[in-house]
Amino acid sequence: MQSLRYFQSSAVTSAPKSGDPRRQHTVSQGILRRFTDPSTRQLELYDLKFEKHYLKFPSQVGFALDFVKHDPVETEQRWQSVEDELPAFYEALENRSLLDSAETIDLAKRIIALHVVRSLTRWAVHEVVIERARDGVVRSLLEKPQILEIAFRRSTGFYSAGPDSIRQQAERGADAAVESLNDHKFWQSRLMANIEELNNFLLPRSIQVLEVCDESNEFLIGDDPAPTLMDGYVGLGPLAGVTYANTTSIALPVSPRFAIALKDEPEWIVATPEIVHFLNRVELSYAQRRVFYNPNSSLRPLAQRASAARGERNPALGPTLISI
């Protein structure tokens, strides 16, 4: 499977235009600011791979370099149309009016959808789609060895040396067949379509607000903060089989005190210590590599324990919920 770095350096990549935004946040800075120390305006980053912690400003974290390279300005404007409404969203949270109108409920759903689609996982899903499409073409071509033999002779001027040469010809044909998928324009167009698809999918759903009332408990947020969840299942997100069709909720921490989640009917509940711990486990389990939290909190030991727990998982199963 390709990595994001490989895609950025591949033949289909064009150099960024001067002035194009390159640090493209997958976690909104407006949300990350809520996890900062008000006096320093910094949050704490915990690197789950290297087990190190750092103080950072929100502008320094939660982004992917050149996440979208085709029409990045247009794409950023699309995301910004939601982020510009974050102040109204937080005002409605603080004055407890978020669930009082269809407009603010819709805004909360659009904030969740933004973080589901503009995510590191969405990129990984895109890679899987390309890889599966290529594998499918290879299998189809291998069912036609005579055509592959002809193609091999035309491209090399020689007869094939056997099955290995025929398979190589099938793989070359598959590479050509999926080339249009491995393209930044296609990737950007799919992101734009995905956000509309998810917003439409969420139309009949409502929002649950989870409020922490015990100051000894706080939410943290990961670098991929909005996994699809399914009740009774330890898999997290589409790479573990939790698609839009079978998800029962999508949760998103939006401050140390508040999280929002999809719900069939609007609901405002107190986030008990058990709920806070569960959602923090979800974030620590689903994060690609980094989590963020208020530096004055007591969350660092939890993040430290999560590093070891993540290492015990079977990566073939996709992201799964850890026990800590």
pLDDT digits (tens, 9 = 90+) for 254-290: 999 999 999 999 999 999 999 999 999 999 999 999 9
Whether the CB-CB separation of 242 and 233 falls below 8 Å is answered with yes
The Cα–Cα gap between 90 and 222 comes to: 19
Of the given ranges (27-31, 70-74, 136-140), which has the lowest mean pLDDT? 136-140
Higher pLDDT, 224 or 120: 224
Residue-level pLDDT at 68? 81
Q: Hey, what amino acid is at 135? A: D
Of the given ranges (15-29, 32-46, 116-130), which has the lowest mean pLDDT? 15-29
Residue-level pLDDT at 127? 76
Residue-level pLDDT at 191? 85
Q: Could you tell me whether strands 63-65 and 23-25 are parallel, antiparallel, or unpaired per DSSP bridges? A: antiparallel
The Cα–Cα gap between 166 and 152 comes to: 7
Average pLDDT of the segment spanning 72-101: 92
Q: Hey, what amino acid is at 276? A: V
Q: Hey, what amino acid is at 111? A: I
Per residue in 138-162, pLDDT (tens digit) is 677 677 777 766 766 777 777 677 7
pLDDT of residue 86 exceeding 70, the answer is yes
